[in-house]
Amino acid sequence: MTKNFGLALPDRVTVYVYAGRRPFERGLIQDARVSPVLAAKLSDVAGRGEQWLAEGMAEWVAFSTLERLGLDTLSSRRLAAVSGIRNHASLLQGGLALEARGTPPGFTRWHVRDGSLPTYQLAFLMADHLIARQGLDTVRGYFASFAQSSDRHANFRHAFGESISEFESGMLTHLNVTVGLLVPGAPAETTLAIAGASVH
């Protein structure tokens, strides 16, 4: 992950999972021995990037790592994700609503309502589309920008040259072309052309 994707990692990693911001804050104090003042600041900053993009990028990095290890391919994961979300039209009822789903609670409500697998598949497809258009360095830079500013809307626009709602509109168009059936008015039969593979 460090060599191929430029993601900074320490020599040893211990993972702690907390249910929300307050448990995370308590965990920083108890498990990491961080002062209460710093813990409050860190817990407030955590998760400020768009949650759907953070989850989607995590999926993208995981699948890219499997591809580099020769265990899977991004292309097969794209096809599986497209197939998965085609069967869950509820994901697009009322649009993507990325504004509401950019926060950890909003994303959690989304995958609880529509199912974790299709929601994460859609998050992966959105991150994959953004990385293909803007490049991995730009996406990494977006997350790094939260060290200077917590303004999620300004950071998104500065990094990607469009608002969250503009990205959503373009993404819906992209899904209409690549997935079909999910978007009202799409043709009944659509050819999927993703990473050189075609499926009817």
Whole-model pTM: value is 0.72
Q: What's at 131, amino acid-wise?
A: I
β partners of residue 198: 193
Chain segment 158-196, per-residue pLDDT in tens: 999 999 999 999 998 888 887 764 444 444 443 333 333
Q: Can you give the pLDDT at residue 35?
A: 75
Chain segment 1-54, per-residue pLDDT in tens: 677 777 766 777 777 777 666 777 677 777 777 777 666 655 555 576 899 999
d(CA 68, CA 2): 13
Q: What is the mean pLDDT of residues 54-60?
A: 94
The Cα-based distances of 188 to 23, 65, 84, 89, 198 in angstroms read 47, 35, 17, 14, 16
